[in-house]
Amino acid sequence: MRKLALTALLALTAGACGDAVSSLAYGDFNSIIAVMEPSLWEEVGDDMYGALEPTILTVRDEKTFTVTYQDPSLPEWSNLRRFRQMLLVGTGDEPWMQDALAKVEDPVDGPGLYHAFDVWARGQQATIIVVTPEDAAAQVRSHLAEINTTLDEQFRGYARTRMFMSGVDSALADTLMTQARFQVILPDVYRWSARDSTYIFRNDNPDPAELIRQITVTWKSPIPPDMSGEGLLEWRAATAAVYAEPQNVDLSQVDAGPFEFRGRPAYQIQALWTNPPELNWPAAGPFIARGVICPEQNRMYLLDAWLYAPGKEKYEYMVQLQTILDSFRCGPA
């Protein structure tokens, strides 16, 4: 059985007393407690791991979510039911299913997928699958893809909310549009600098040895005739020469191709950066490089976002960088 982090378990134990609903939910937003009868878990457990623990490219294949099974008949249930993300499966006759279904706002009219909040703790989200005993495993499998999409959307919303807790730097957005005729929306904690047509936005709080998020925006005019992956990487290499951290590109794992960005032709490369081998300390992380054409300005923009987060889960930070890249605008003020 997958084990929860020791710190989370200690927190759960500490909060075991008192009224559950008056207590705050515990655990990470991307940790899922899957609850059902053991016999059903034996049938669908591997399917749940496969569907709800997809991996993304960071410096390794990193799980976006972690699933932990819980038998509701065991003593640990009284604490683990206060976890932030719950996935509950049953016929609806079980006491723990009845607790959750009582919090569903929409009518519960038979087998299907439902959602509830604050079942046993405040800030808790419960995804509920009501099944029939005769075909429970098949019914669970039929909902897994939708559940993964829903949980991922919820996690991205959570990551964006946390990202802007410091506030939105709307003054910077206005300055950029006036001064350089492009715009990105950043949290207040980012600082920025500009050299000619290269703008660098950086957040290295609390310590650059522990965490760096950086986005660079620059452009070429007139628009280059070719927008290929090779050309974008060459442009990125020339731009990265001014970074405080020297960077090489590792294409052993890469996701690249053209796409449409807000109706504009664009190309994106996601891969890894590493520092040069001659340096005495190893460093690496993911980067996302985007080329975006802005015809009304006769410009092609390079947006380069990279992350350094050694020893940390990186998915939330990658969502933050993608959010900033997605906020990009160009054109008339």
In whole angstroms, what is the distance from residue 172 CA to residue 149 CA? 33
Distant-in-sequence, close-in-space partners of 232: CB < 8 Å, separation ≥ 6: 267, 269, 289, 291, 302
Is 15's pLDDT higher than 70? no
Q: Please give the pLDDT value at position 6.
A: 33
* pLDDT at residue 289 in the model: 97
Residue 108 is predicted with a pLDDT of 92
Q: Which residue has the tokens 């206005």?
A: 174
**Arithmetic mean of pLDDT, 209-232:** 93
Place 291 in a pLDDT band, splitting at 50, 70 and 90. very high
The per-residue pLDDT for 300 is 97
**DSSP class of residue 295?**
G
What confidence tens digit (pLDDT) does each residue in 62-81 have?
888 999 999 999 999 988 99
pLDDT tens digits for 178-202? 999 999 999 999 999 999 999 999 9
The least confident of 14-23, 213-222, 320-329 is: 14-23
Residue whose entry in the numeric block shows the structure tokens 């990265």:
240
Report the chain's terminal Cα–Cα distance, integer Å.
Answer: 56
Which of 215-224, 237-246, 298-307 shows the lowest mean pLDDT across its residues? 237-246
Q: Quick one: what percent of the chain has pLDDT higher than 70?
A: 92
- The CA distance from 56 to 230, in Å, is 23
pLDDT at 159: 94
Indicate the pLDDT class of residue 36, thresholds 50, 70 and 90.
Answer: very high
pLDDT at 55: 83
Side chain identity, residue 219: W
Residue 16 has pLDDT above 50, yes or no: no
Q: Does residue 51 surpass a pLDDT of 60?
A: yes
Report which residue type is found at 52: L
The pLDDT value given to residue 253:
87
Round to whole Å and give the CA distance between 64 and 82: 21
Q: Using one digit for the tens of pLDDT, what is the confidence trace for 136-159? A: 999 999 999 999 999 999 999 999
Q: Are 122 and 83 in contact (CB under 8 A)?
A: no
Half-sphere exposure of 94 (CA within 13 A, CB side): 19
Chain-centre distance for alpha carbon 218: 26
Asked if the model's pLDDT at residue 61 lies above 80, the reply is no
pLDDT greater than 80 at residue 50: yes
